[in-house]
Structure 1
Amino acid sequence: MAGGGRRRCRRARTVSLSCRDEAAAAEKRQLRHCPGENRKGRPQLRPRSRRRVGRPGSRHASRSVRCRGQSTGRRRVQGHSRQQPDRHVAGQQTGGHPRRHDCRRTWQQQVRATPSGAQQRVLDAIDRLEPAYRRLLQTLVRIPSQAREEETEAQALVSEHMREIGLTVDSFDVDVQALKHLAAFNPSPRNYAGRPCVVGRRPGTGGGRSLLLNAHIDTVPVETPDAWAHPPFGGAIEDGRLYGRGACDDKAGIVECLLVAHAIKDAAVELEGDLTVASVIEDETTGNGSLACVERGYTADGVIIVDGTWPERFIVSHMGHVSFRIRLTGIAGHATSGGPNPIAAVGMVEEALRKFVERRNAEHAQHWGAKENPIFINLGMVHGGVWPGSVPGECVLEGQYGFPPPGSCESAKQELRDLLATVAHRSDWPLRAAPSIEFVGLETPPEVGDPANPIAQLLSATVRRLRGATLQESVIVGHCDLRHYTRARERPTTAACLYGPGGGRNVHGADEYFELAHLRLVAGNLAGVALEWCGVTRDR
């Protein structure tokens, strides 16, 4: 997910898993060894329904976890371990005080209970397969797939792995001619040949709802490799963290999608609904990869984009974005010619953009999630001139404008046009020509989803049931590909959200990393959703 995807909702009350020590401590509190060994020689874990801690009706039901720097309160942490489904489900009150989460009764009555045997086998399979998928993530990180037409080798590995785990694979390039007439298509200067999207499908037996898991293989470029303590394409593992460009954003998401599909097959579980995994390109730029998948018919009743969140967060809403290119024109000549030099106007344009943002935020006067002043303009690229002894003929600024609803892409573009026209009429404008602006690359309107949509509710119930944690909505200033599924021309769905791949830091920056402990955790949650949503045909 691009730009600002990991900002957190101020309303959230759960404790973050950013600290591995606290998560490990929570795990120890949640797990107690039972006497005896299982057939693999490991201590058996006592099912949650047989533990004192958290048992409904007991005085331990509200036991909380306290992290350093956090005030006490009834906050819960997702443990890294699995637990047996709670026997005390809604509608089966066994005495004592009422359950704290009575709100889940309505939702659980609407879905079929997943056979516990199937669920346990899938979770066991995730445990067995997880080491191999750590290695797969490390391999993917070592293959550069920057959004510079570099995705070919990484997608070939994804396609090969999909076939190995029994998925029916469709690998295809983005067809510009088939998409260019669509309002959602964003023109791109890059060549799409040999940069495929890869979709793997596991057909269901019939009668269930379909689920699509989406993640993106493209990453932002590495600007200064020397600024990294760990090589950006080395895949180094240190203290439970895997370092590298794209480790967290979003190759971990792709690996988790593959792990879910593999674990379901390995556990010999048959789903009633279709399960589809899409590894797409250009999430970071145009979004045309997901658009191409949707137009090729890869939609579903429910969609989870595995990108942008920690294990206790989900996303259904993001701001609008437009990318722009401002061109300042001077007169090229010798360094002593006097120009005018277009670089001399950069400061004036930057100041005008900054004051525009300050004014817009003052007028908006509303938070967007946790962001007090959500409206922003980022200048990400400046280039001009070819020689220090020459006056450049032009200077180009490229950036991105983020805006909340009710703004639209067209109104945002007009705001920038009007702003530059005002700047050009200033008496101290140093150039003979007014600045020009064009809009290239990303254009996405604001997306405001329903946090109570069916897939988000099921995900929340699954996280609570498997992990004993409360899922919270995160409203972001970044952008993602949700719009292509919620606004699809055919078979749109509101049952869509972002969830996963888990914790990490420094996305788009130096020393990006992913918390490896969250690989198994998030995959288990996604698998639980898949079984409930699609339905299980056979349980043996």
Structure 2
Amino acid sequence: MSQLDTLRQTLAAHREEYLDILKQLVRCDTQCIGHGILGGKERAGLEVYEQVVRGMGAQVQLEPLDEDSVQRAICTYNDGNAGHNYDDRYNVYATFGKSEPGKRSIAFNAHMDVMPVGELSFWESDPFDPVVRDGKLYGRGSGDDKGGIAAAVAAVKLLQDSGIEIPGQVQLHCVSDEEGGGNGSINAAIKGHRADACVICEATGNNAIWAHMGFVFFKVEVTGKSLHSAQKWLGVNAIEKAWKLVEALHELENDWLMRYRHPHLPSPSLNIGVIEGGTAGSTVPDYCSFSLCLHYIPGMMTHAEVIRQVEQCIATRAQGDSWLREHQPKVTVYQQGQGFEQDVREPFPQAVKTAMEQVLPGYGGQFIVSSSGCDARIYKNILGMPTLIVGPGDDSVAHCPNEYVPLDEWYDAILLYAQIILGWCS
């Protein structure tokens, strides 16, 4: 019997045991607060995760998040998100096996924080009570990203239960504050938690993402002059002034659409996601702010140039308005992440491709790209590690009510991760 046949047989015998790992994690409320800026509740899930991996014989390290690491990443790599609350927030690293001459190491990265559940009436069941319906496990974080965490843990357990010695070294990096822009993985990278290759366990339908867009979040603040609306001509409407800037940014986006085309990645995009201003319909608003997220194409557009163009666009439009010229809008970058590209011809992507073809005949081995960013950029750009994003689930249901992970796909991910370990580390 081949090793792969042994793994399949063992997986069939332990399906419910492995699924219980995922259920335990989903039961934990680990919501981020204020997009991670105000804090997060990861601890409950991290304690469960720590207990599981210690029971499997892992070497375990707990490491608090800190602002200094984030500031170093911002200054050196233009990546990171300053000013987050790190009270009771930390990463947990579990290591199995050891580094030996002639053998490789691999890291699996996944995050414990989940997005807020939102309006509970939109959920068909309690978001923190994992429920299996129609071959899917429902619950907040089931796909993003506790499905990935649990699959990586179960892959190591599968090797152990199959009596197969782990070749080389396997590291499981369970991080906090990913939803706030990746500060947990930035802490991991700046503090030197590296291996010979990395799998980011985000939802990809068990395909391999080799590139994703870069992203920058801006907040733009505009002041006006408040007055009773019956004499609006004597005041200055901050909302109307802000909208002039929004129109200018849409013109910039249209210019990018004409100039930048990538053979695989989508076009650059700019989304106005939040606008706030005014106190009453009878009052001319003296303040307005709006927040936007833009995604840009790595390689073709640089991080610094994108920021410069947005700031210049706003400044130029302000110069054409007598009020804004004297009352300059305030532009702040509050979240950012570089783009990510991995050469799929290198040995690690080819090892992953081989494992996918072995485990997932008929639909495996697909290399795809993503319009959204994740922590792959951090391991690739800061640590220089060969990195791919591979995991169970569909990212289109992440952050949504009734989030789920298909269980057949999740079990396939366990087997796939185990085969990647054997193929790469040996």
The question of a shared fold, defined as TM-score above 0.5 by the shorter chain, is answered with yes
Please state how far the C-alpha of 1:225 moved relative to its aligned partner.
3.5
**Cα–Cα, structure 1 residues 224 and 461, in superposed 2: closer, same or farther, change >3 Å?**
same
Which residue of structure 1 aligns with residue 360 of structure 2? 467
Aligned pair in 2 of structure 1 residues 513, 333: CA closer, same or farther (>3 Å)?
Answer: farther
Aligned-partner Cα distance in 1 for 2:133–2:322: 54
Distance 1:170 1:243 in 2: 30
> Which residue does the alignment assign to 1:92?
none
Q: Does 1:423 align with 2:317?
A: yes
The aligned residue for residue 244 of structure 1 is 139
| 3-state SS in 2 of match to 1:357 | helix
Seen in structure 2, the aligned counterparts of structure 1 residues 130 and 340 have a Cα distance that, compared at 3 Å, is farther
Mark the CA change 1:138 to 1:284 in structure 2 (over 3 Å): closer, same or farther. same
Q: What corresponds to 1:132 in structure 2?
A: 17
Q: Say which is worse superposed, 231-240 or 335-344, in terms of deviation.
A: 335-344
Q: 1:261 to 1:480 in 2, by over 3 A?
A: same
Over residues 86-128 of structure 1, what are the superposed CA-to-partner deviations in whole Å (9 max), with x where a residue is unaligned?
A: xxxxxxxxxxxxxxxxxxxxxxxxxxxxxx34x4443333333
Q: Structure 2 counterpart of 1:324, which letter?
A: F
Cα pair 1:504 1:512 within 8 Å, conserved = no
Q: What's 1:357 paired with? A: 253
User: Residues 244 and 307 (structure 1 numbering): CA distance in 2 closer, same or farther, change over 3 Å?
Assistant: same
Whole-angstrom distance in 1 between the partners of 2:96 and 2:167: 10
Per-residue Cα deviation, 1:377-421 (whole angstroms, up to 9, x for no partner): 122222334566655442221121111132111100111011112
- Map of 2:7 onto structure 1: 122
CA contact (8 A) 2:340 2:381 kept: no
- Residues 124, 296 of structure 1: alpha-carbon distance in 2 compared, 3 angstrom cutoff: farther
Aligned length: 412
**Cα deviations by residue, 1:213-265 (Å, 9 ceiling, x for unpaired):** 11112223334433344444343322112223322111100110110121222
CA deviation digits over 1:262-302, x for unaligned, max 9?
12222232223111101112222222211211233321112
Amino acid at match of 2:151: E
User: Is the 1:369–1:476 contact (alpha carbons within 8 Å) kept by the matching residues of 2?
Assistant: no
Q: 1:201–1:274: 8 Å Cα contact kept in structure 2? A: yes
Bigger Rg, structure 1 or 2: 1
Partner of 1:316, secondary structure, is strand
Q: Secondary structure at the match of 1:440?
A: strand
**Contact preservation (8 Å) 1:320, 1:402:** yes
Aligned to 2:36: none
Letter in 1 for 2:344: P
Counterpart AA for 1:514: V
Measure how far apart 1:349 and its partner are. Answer: 2.9
Aligned residue runs from structure 1 range 78-477, under 5 A: 116-117=2-3, 119-148=4-33, 149-182=40-73, 183-184=76-77, 185-204=79-98, 206-207=100-101, 208-311=103-206, 313-332=207-226, 338=232, 339-364=235-260, 366-369=261-264, 371=266, 374-385=267-278, 391-404=284-297, 405-427=299-321, 433-442=327-336, 444-469=337-362, 470-477=364-371
- 1:432 is displaced (CA, Å) by 6.2
SS in 2 for 1:510: coil
Give the Å deviation of 1:337.
Answer: 6.5
Opposite residue 361 of structure 2, the aligned amino acid is G
Task: Judge which range, 497-506 or 294-303, deviates more.
Answer: 497-506
Sort the Cα spacing of 1:272 and 1:206 in 2 relative to 1 into closer, same or farther, 3 A: farther
Task: Give the CA deviation at 1:466.
Answer: 2.8
2:422 equivalent to 1:531: yes
Go from structure 1 to structure 2 and tell me whether the alpha carbon gap of 1:384 and 1:154 turns closer, same or farther (over 3 Å shift).
farther
1:456-488 Cα offsets, whole Å, 9 max, x none, are: 111111121233234121112211222322233
CA change 1:180–1:512 in 2 (3 A) is same
Percent of pairs with identical residues: 25
User: Could you tell me how far apart the structure 1 residues matched to 2:246 and 2:116 are?
Assistant: 24
Q: Which runs of 5+ in 2 are unaligned?
A: 34-39
Indicate the SS of the match to 1:246. coil
Q: Which amino acid aligns with 1:397?
A: F
CA–CA distance in structure 2, aligned partners of residues 310 and 349 of structure 1: 39
**1:205–1:271 CA contact under 8 A, matched in 2:** no
CA RMSD of aligned residues (A): 2.5
What is the CA–CA distance in structure 2 between the aligned matches of 1:319 and 1:247, rounded to whole Å?
24
- Contact kept, 8 Å, 2:67 with 2:82, in 1: the verdict is no
Query: Relative to 1, partners in 2 of residues 1:358 and 1:125: Cα closer, same or farther, differing over 3 Å?
Result: same
Whole-Å Cα distance in 2 between the matches of residues 488 and 498 of structure 1? 16
Structure 2 residue aligned with 1:484: 378
Deviation at 1:375, TM superposition (A): 0.8
> Relative to 1, partners in 2 of residues 1:399 and 1:142: Cα closer, same or farther, differing over 3 Å?
farther
Q: What TM-score results when the alignment is normalised by the length of structure 2? A: 0.88
CA distance in 1, matches of 2:377, 2:189: 11
Q: CA deviation at 1:505?
A: 3.9
CA distance 1:368–1:477, change in 2 (3 Å): farther
1: distance between equivalents of 2:121 and 2:324?
37
Per the TM alignment, residue 446 of structure 1 is displaced from its structure 2 partner at its CA by 2.3
Q: In 2, distance between residues paired with 1:393 and 1:225?
A: 35
Measured at CA, do residues 457 and 356 of structure 1 come closer, stay the same or move farther in structure 2, by a change above 3 Å?
A: same
CA 1:460–1:263 in 2, change beyond 3 Å: closer, same or farther? same
* Larger displacement relative to structure 2 (404-413 or 294-303): 294-303
CA distance in 1, matches of 2:408, 2:70: 40
Residue type of the partner of 1:146? Q
Q: CA separation in 2, counterparts of 1:294 and 1:127?
A: 36
